[in-house]
Every structure is written in C-alpha cells, then in structure tokens.
Amino acid sequence: MDYTVHDSGNLRELEMRGQITFEADTDFRAIFAAWEQGGIADCVLNLSAVDYMDSAGLGLLVMANNAARQAGITFRLKHPRGQVRDLIEISEFHTIIPCEF
Amino acid sequence: MSGGPPVVIGHPRTSSARPLRDVLGRLGVRRIVVVDDVRLAQIVADTAAEPPQLLLLHAGLPGFSPDFLMALRENANLRDVPVLVLGRFPAGTLRGELMRAGATDLLARPLTLAELSARLSVHLDRCRLDRSLQEVIRSLQTYHHGAMQRMALARQMQLGLLPDVAACRSLEGRYGIALDSHFESSSELGGDLWGARSLDDRRFALFLCDFTGHGVAAALNTFRLHALLARIDLPADDPAEALRVLNGLLVGLLPEAQFAAMIYAVVDVSADRLVYATAGAPKPLVRHTGGRLEVGPSCGLPLGLASEARYRNHCLDFPPGSTLLLFSDALYEARRWDGEMFGYGGVSDLVQGLDDSDLQRPLGRYFATVPRLLADDLTVLWISRNGRPRSGPD
C-alpha cells in the first residue's frame, strides 16, 4: 500500500492505493503520528484506488477511527470500490465510520 | 580466550615444545596438552569425551604422513577439528598431499614467534567463533523443538474444540443430512471455529466464526469464544439475538482492532428452511436441485466492535436435495496461481459443480486452482439435505 496526502486548510485527504492488509500497519501508524502534531480537523480516507482489503485492514480502520477520536479529528471514508466496498457493506463498517459511497 | 577444550600439541620431543606452549599461553589458551606419538593415539581414542579445539602436529612425529592425517579425519570426533601441521615442507607435492589429507593449514618453518602467534591467533579466533555458533545453533534447535512440541499440543487442543466425528454422525442421522467440513489453519494455530448442536427433533444450529488475523493470538480468541458458548444459553430460535448476546460478551473482551466475523444459522428440516444472521461473515450459498444457486444476504458489524450493534435474521429455502455451503473469507480471498483473487465467482462455480457425495471433490478442484500455502485460515462447512430425518421423540 502507498498513499498521497492532500491538505486543504484543516482538511486532510489521504489517497490510498493498493492493498490494505496487515502489512499496512506501519503506514497507518505514521498517519496517526501525523494527526497528533495538530492542524488537522477532518481526515478523509479516499479508498477509490484500493483494490483489496482484508479483515486485518478493517482492523486498521478501527484503529484509525479510535486514533482520530483521541486526536479530536473527524474521520470518514470515501469511494470504496469492488471488493473493498463489498467488505465494508457486509461488515457494516459505514455504521461506525461515516462512508461516502 | 580462556577455558574451553584443550589445544593438543603433537611433538616428537615434548620438552622442545615449550616455545609453542608459551605462544599459546600468551594467546590465552589455558589448557595445553603436549604429547608424543604414543600418547597422541590415546588422546585421539579419548576424543569422544572432549574433542580438542585445535590439533597442532609437528611433521617430525614418528609415522606422520598424509595417511596419518586421513586416519585422524576418519574419527568422527576429529572431523571438524582444525589440524595445523608445523614443519619444513620443501616439496610442493607434499604440501598438496597434506592439505588434501585433511590439514587445515601448514605452518612452514622457518617461522618467527610473532608470525607463529599471528597464525595461531587466526585459527583460535575461528575456533571460538565456531564454538559460539554451534552453541547458538544448539540453543535454537532446542527452542525450536520445544516450540514445535508446544504448538502440536496446542493444535490438538484447538482441533478438540470442533465437533468430532461422532457428533457429526449424530446430526446426520437425526436430521437426514450429510455434513462435511474442512478446517485448515494458515499456520499451526488459527482463528477459525465452527460448531453445531441439536435444538429439537426438527432443528439444529450451526455457526462459523473467524477472528481477525491468524496464529496464536487469533487462536486464543477461539478458545475464549468456545468457553463463552459453553457457559451461556443462546436463544435457540433467533440467530440475530444469539449474535447480539455474543457481541455483548465480546465487546471489551477483545483487544483493539480484534473482532470476529460470524454466521449463526438454524436449520429447520421440517420447514425446509434456514434462518441465519451474520456479523461481517461471507454470504451463505445454497445450491438447489438442478444446480440453481442462491446467495443469501449478509450484513452486520463483526462481533466485538460496538456494544450497540444489532443483527438481522434472514431466511433461505433449504429443501431436500439442496446443499448449503458456509465458509470463512479465506475461501474467496485466496489468490489463484495467476495472482487473481478466487472470488465469489470462483466459489459459485465450485458450488454449482457440487454433487451430493461430499466436500472433498470440490476442495480438490479448489486446491488445484490456488496454492496450498494459504494466507488465512480456511473453514468450509457443507450440509446436504440428502435424506429424511429419522422419526422419534424429541
């Protein structure tokens, strides 16, 4: 997985690419660490270019949601596609993390 | 260097070996044995007790020759011991013969004490490193052996959580079904668990649970769930309520980012239907007579994430002649040999190709398509309504 950061005012959009699995753990921790430095009020995870996510990836979304709450950041998901969308819908993750389909 | 096995000096005149002893002593060697040809034979015979760390042989020993060296190397306890030969070697052919016969190095005289010390130091350092490495290897082998034994025991314990053959045959006889299963962890232990139990003469319940991740941590969660299931009385006729109760127990019990996908189903062979609820679990598939495939809906938060989660019951026709397939996500998330995900399409093809015999044939086709070394734990349950339940009291 890799990602690009787009900042606009206090909104940060993270454009994720590739696969979100256990191997993405280090990247997510770097994302959380950046939140703690302040200056961000909202963060959107753009999933449109993520082609695969497994249950460990869902676990990372849970961790991201908790980390955002602790940092006082509004966290949401955006544009999941294919298998990622199916997984989010089957798991109803959009009921605990706002998701724009 | 101190301690350790001795350095054995083989010298025709033991009293003349003093310079060698002095050099070795200055290099830190504490145990030095100087022997002539007669005692050398005895030392060699005793190597089983403690092989020397180094043999330093004077080429003037009576009977010394390449054959003598070859005989030394035939002793299993001396096969890896460095053997240095000290002497004058005017002929190149002799030097070659000695090296081929097993000499580690030749210390050709004339030789200053400083050069002798430098040459011996290299070999002694190598011996010390080799002994350290051997100790590390032995330690790792001991740890690995113990870990494998503990893992094998733990795996047996985990397999013991699953319904045994007698339990499965009992369900088959009572409800007129054929029940087959496949349970395969991606490592020694896994995070999947399934179970089944009779409710009454017309209904039985079954579940399949898949905890996040795999390995020891996920396996510990399966033991947690099994213990919970053993001490609570789940509502028999309401899968959604059963999941709600289990979720309430798991929230706060599981660490952050760990949760469980689960399907809980009640099969009613009298009403020819299946009522089930899911918590992030894959969609169940029913293959009807004639090959028509029905994919059940699936929606619901995985267990252990939110105490307020609620679940919904769904109903599927499950008449005689039909087959139900439940599975963990590893079945369709596995990558085929060409790198593509097996997918729900692949699973559908498998199910449509099912006959009423057993699960093994489609699984054989599956494992011809995906590499056997799975990245996640795989559980597949196959229930075929191939008969009528036996009559009898509840």
Mean pLDDT of B273-299: 94
pLDDT at position B349: 87
For residue B393, pLDDT beyond 50: no
Residues of chain B positioned with their CB less than 8 A from the CB of A55: 210, 212-213, 259, 261, 280, 302, 329
Of the pLDDT bands very low, low, confident and very high (cuts 50, 70, 90), residue B3 is low
Report CB contact under 8 Å: A62, B299: no
Of the pLDDT bands very low, low, confident and very high (cuts 50, 70, 90), residue B389 is low
Q: What's the pLDDT tens digit per position in B219-269?
A: 999 999 999 999 888 887 899 999 999 999 999 899 888 999 999 999 999
Residues of chain A positioned with their CB less than 8 A from the CB of B341: 52, 83
Instruction: Collapse the DSSP code of A39 into the 3-class scheme (helix H, G, I; strand E, B; otherwise coil) and give the result.
Output: coil
pLDDT at position A95: 94
Pairing of strands A42-53, A74-78: parallel
- Percent of chain B residues past pLDDT 70, beyond the cut: 95
Residues contacting residue B263 through CB under 8 Å, at least 6 positions apart: B207, B208, B276, B277, B278, B279, B281, B282, B284, B298, B326
User: B370 and B336 in contact (C-beta within 8 Å)?
Assistant: yes
User: B178 and B356 in contact (C-beta within 8 Å)?
Assistant: yes
Of the pLDDT bands very low, low, confident and very high (cuts 50, 70, 90), residue B394 is very low
Report CB contact under 8 Å: A90, B281: yes
Cα–Cα distance measured from residue B264 to residue B245, given in angstroms and rounded to the nearest whole number:
12
For residue A39, pLDDT beyond 90: no
Nearest Cα residue in chain A from B259: A59
Cα–Cα distance measured from residue B236 to residue B51, given in angstroms and rounded to the nearest whole number:
71
Domain that holds residue A17: 2-100
**CA distances in angstroms from B259 to A85, B63, B377, listed in the order given:** 19, 76, 15
For residue B328, pLDDT beyond 80: yes
**CA distances in angstroms from A66 to A10, A13, A14, A72, B303, listed in the order given:** 19, 18, 17, 10, 17
Residues of chain B positioned with their CB less than 8 A from the CB of A91: 261, 280, 300-302
The whole-angstrom distance between A3's CA and the closest CA on chain B is 21
Give me the helix-helix angle, B239-250 and B216-231, nearest 10°: 120
Q: What's the pLDDT tens digit per position in B170-215?
A: 999 999 999 999 999 888 889 999 999 999 999 999 999 999 877 8
The whole-angstrom distance between B117's CA and the closest CA on chain A is 52
Q: Which residues pair with B83 in a beta bridge?
A: B55
Pairing of strands B54-58, B293-295: unpaired
The pTM assigned to this predicted structure is 0.79
Nearest Cα residue in chain B from A63: B257
Total domain count, chain A: 1
Q: What's the pLDDT tens digit per position in A46-59?
A: 999 999 999 889 99
Q: Does an H or E element contain A6, and which? A: strand A2-8
The whole-angstrom distance between B309's CA and the closest CA on chain A is 9
Structural domains in chain B plus CATH codes: 7-138 (3.40.50.2300), 162-384 (3.60.40.10)
Encode burial over A7-35: b for 16+ CB neighbours within 10 A, e otherwise. Answer: eeeeebbbbbeeebbeebbeebeebbebb
Q: For residue A32, what is the domain's CATH number?
A: 3.30.750.24
Mean pLDDT of B371-391: 81
For residue B100, pLDDT beyond 90: yes
Q: What's the pLDDT tens digit per position in B29-76?
A: 999 999 887 677 777 767 667 788 999 999 999 889 999 899 888 888
Tell me, yes or no, if A59 comes closer than 8 A to chain B by beta carbon.
yes
Report CB contact under 8 Å: A90, B256: no
Cα–Cα distance measured from residue B149 to residue B359, given in angstroms and rounded to the nearest whole number:
31
Tell me, yes or no, if B298 comes closer than 8 A to chain A by beta carbon.
yes
Tell me, yes or no, if A93 comes closer than 8 A to chain B by beta carbon.
yes
* Residue in this structure with the two tokens 């293959």, named with its chain if needed: B287
- Tell me how far the alpha carbon of residue B94 is from its chain's centroid: 51
Tell me, yes or no, if A95 comes closer than 8 A to chain B by beta carbon.
yes
Of the two residues B104 and B63, the one the predictor is more confident about is: B104
Mean pLDDT of B294-317: 95
Question: If you compute the radius of gyration of chain B from its CA atoms, what whole number of angstroms results?
Answer: 35
Tell me, yes or no, if B257 comes closer than 8 A to chain A by beta carbon.
yes
Q: Roughly how many angstroms between the first and final C-alpha of chain B, as a whole number?
A: 80
Mean pLDDT of chain B: 90
Nearest alpha-carbon partner for B274 in B150, B385, B375:
B385
For residue B322, pLDDT beyond 80: yes
Phi, psi for residue A9 in degrees, rounded to 5: 65, -130
pLDDT at position B38: 66
For residue B131, pLDDT beyond 90: no
